[in-house]
């Protein structure tokens, strides 16, 4: 069997990484540097969209948004009906009962959204609920202004005309990407435009003033959202990334393994885990010093990342050990990935002086998650496979599953005929 056909694990890393950058446009080469200074070391992609975010950060941000979103939804669900007595005192009688219906319907919808909708907190689910909340606010504004303009028209109270600005201001408490924030603000602005056009007020001074205020509030809200995102990213990276290699740390890895277990239960797909240990790393530290040892760890981390798919997870497990998580991967594909990375690390040379270089090698343990087992059980089996790789002479891949002894996959691969 051709190893290139075992899922997309055997694709070249260049085929799986981000597309090549477009050629630089003359006259704007300084823009990336200006944006980096503007965002204080962060890239524009950090706040523009989630394309450059890790899966773990995306879910962490979703939980953060969900907590604030629940409070905001329930606050509006209570505040809208609470305004009914003021409507009764301040509005014309023909408008009171239509407004009561609008308030009660919107309040019930928001209450259901806040109590039932946020029981799941996946990123997609939370963003859909946020869009529904903004849609409810826009629908309430449109219904209220249209109702007050019907029959004997009366000037809407500030509590109605301020709803779009209040909703835009509210978005500032969420760490949204610029794409999402701009989309929501554009939807609110389009609602105001359509309502004013429908009531024949679009070209009045009051309507133009309202649109101007909304535009200013939208710009400020986007800036605050970007600040929220950058603050959350900074805290996340400081608490979850290994400062030496830039990989996620052990705590986040355990969390991702928990997500792997849930994913395997849901999809019934095989998922695999690899453990790498740099051979004789202590000798490098003892002979060349810890600074060169740190450089070796960084090079090994980059080599691991380059050998994995974009949605795979790699972490520094401790010392010179690394763990990679491969969702939706066959055991044959995982072994092929492990062997390819082993060969890539074996090909690495690290300058250690004027005329001296260091060559590296790694031992690798491979296992597949078995349905129903605990994470610790899987890690113990993986550690046993790695130990066996060391025992057999290092610089090899060993695969292990329950009920069968660890098997040297490197020897099996080497024995295959060329092209098989």
Report the CATH number that the domain containing residue 400 is assigned in CATH: 3.30.70.270
Hey, is 395 helix, strand or coil? coil
Q: Report if residue 353 sits inside a domain.
A: yes
Hey, is 136 helix, strand or coil? helix
Hey, is 277 helix, strand or coil? strand
Q: Which of 222, 240, 258 is the last residue of a domain?
A: 240
* Residue whose pair of structure tokens reads 């760890």 in the numeric block: 297
Q: Report if residue 6 sits inside a domain.
A: no
Rounded to whole angstroms, the Cα distance separating 413 from 420 reads 9
Same domain, 112 and 256: no
Q: How many domains does the chain have?
A: 2
Same domain, 360 and 289: yes
pLDDT number for residue 40:
58
pLDDT number for residue 115:
86
In degrees, rounded to 5, the angle at the alpha carbon of residue 187 between the alpha carbons of residues 186 and 191 is 115
DSSP string, 101-136: HHHHHHHHHHHHHHHHGGG---HHHHHHHHHHHHHH
Structure tokens at 395: 């610089």
pLDDT number for residue 416:
40
Q: Which of 194, 211, 240 is the last residue of a domain?
A: 240
Contact 346, 357 (CB under 8 A): no
Rounded to whole angstroms, the Cα distance separating 75 from 78 reads 5
pLDDT number for residue 412:
47
pLDDT number for residue 17:
40
Q: What are phi and psi of 208, to 5 degrees?
A: -65, -35
- Compute and round to an integer the Cα radius of gyration of the chain: 29
Same domain, 161 and 272: no
Same domain, 233 and 255: no
* Residue whose pair of structure tokens reads 């609110």 in the numeric block: 188
Same domain, 399 and 290: yes
Q: Report if residue 374 sits inside a domain.
A: yes
Q: Report if residue 25 sits inside a domain.
A: no
Q: Supply the range of the domain harboring residue 97.
A: 47-240
Same domain, 60 and 158: yes
Rounded to whole angstroms, the Cα distance separating 169 from 159 reads 15
Overall size of the chain counted in residues:
420
Rounded to whole angstroms, the Cα distance separating 148 from 143 reads 9
Per-residue pLDDT of the chain (420 residues; tens, 9 = 90+): 343 344 444 444 444 443 333 344 444 344 445 545 555 556 788 899 998 888 889 989 999 999 999 999 999 999 999 999 999 998 989 999 999 999 999 999 999 998 877 677 788 999 999 999 999 999 999 999 999 888 766 777 777 888 999 999 999 999 999 999 999 999 999 999 999 999 888 888 988 988 999 999 999 999 999 999 999 999 998 889 999 999 999 999 998 899 888 888 888 888 999 999 999 999 999 999 999 999 999 999 999 999 999 889 999 999 999 999 999 999 999 999 999 999 999 999 999 877 889 999 999 999 999 988 999 999 999 999 999 999 999 999 999 998 777 777 765 444 443 333
Contact 339, 399 (CB under 8 A): no
């Amino acid at each position: 069997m051709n190893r290139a056909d075992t899922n997309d694990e055997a694709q070249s890393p260049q085929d799986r990484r981000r597309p090549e950058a477009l050629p630089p446009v003359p006259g704007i080469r300084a823009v990336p540097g200006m944006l980096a200074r503007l965002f204080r070391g962060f890239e524009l992609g950090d706040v523009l969209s989630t394309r450059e975010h890790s899966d773990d950060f995306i879910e962490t941000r979703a939980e953060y948004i969900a907590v604030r979103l629940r409070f905001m939804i329930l606050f509006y669900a209570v505040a809208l009906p609470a305004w009914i007595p003021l409507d009764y005192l301040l509005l014309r009688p023909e408008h009171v009962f239509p407004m009561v219906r609008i308030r009660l319907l919107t309040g019930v919808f928001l209450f259901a959204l806040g109590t039932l909708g946020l029981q799941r907190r996946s990123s997609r689910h939370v963003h859909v609920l946020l869009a529904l909340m903004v849609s409810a606010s826009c629908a309430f504004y449109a219904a209220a202004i249209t109702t007050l303009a019907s029959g004997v028209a009366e000037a809407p109270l500030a509590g109605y005309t301020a709803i779009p600005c209040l909703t835009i201001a509210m978005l500032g408490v969420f760490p949204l990407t610029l794409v999402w924030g701009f989309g929501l603000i554009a939807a609110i602005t389009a609602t105001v435009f359509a309502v004013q056009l429908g009531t024949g007020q679009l070209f009045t001074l009051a309507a133009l003033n309202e649109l101007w205020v909304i535009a200013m509030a939208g710009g400020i809200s986007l800036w605050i959202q970007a600040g929220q995102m950058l603050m959350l990213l900074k805290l996340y990276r400081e608490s979850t990334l290994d400062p030496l290699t830039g990989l996620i740390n052990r705590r986040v890895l355990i969390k991702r393994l928990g997500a792997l277990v849930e994913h395997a239960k849901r999809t019934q797909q095989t998922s695999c885990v690899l453990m790498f240990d740099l051979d004789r790393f202590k000798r490098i530290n003892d002979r060349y010093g810890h600074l060169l040892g740190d450089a070796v760890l960084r090079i090994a981390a980059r080599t691991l990342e380059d050998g994995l798919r974009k949605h795979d997870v790699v972490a520094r497990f401790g010392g010179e050990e690394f763990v990679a998580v491969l969702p939706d991967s066959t055991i044959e594909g995982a072994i092929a990935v492990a062997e390819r990375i082993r060969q890539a690390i074996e090909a690495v040379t690290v300058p250690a002086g004027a005329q001296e270089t260091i060559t590296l090698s790694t031992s690798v343990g491979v296992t597949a998650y078995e349905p129903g087992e605990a994470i610790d059980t899987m890690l113990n089996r993986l550690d046993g496979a790695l130990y066996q790789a060391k025992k057999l002479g290092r610089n090899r891949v060993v695969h292990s599953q329950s009920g069968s002894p660890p098997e040297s996959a490197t020897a099996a691969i080497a024995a295959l005929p060329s092209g098989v």
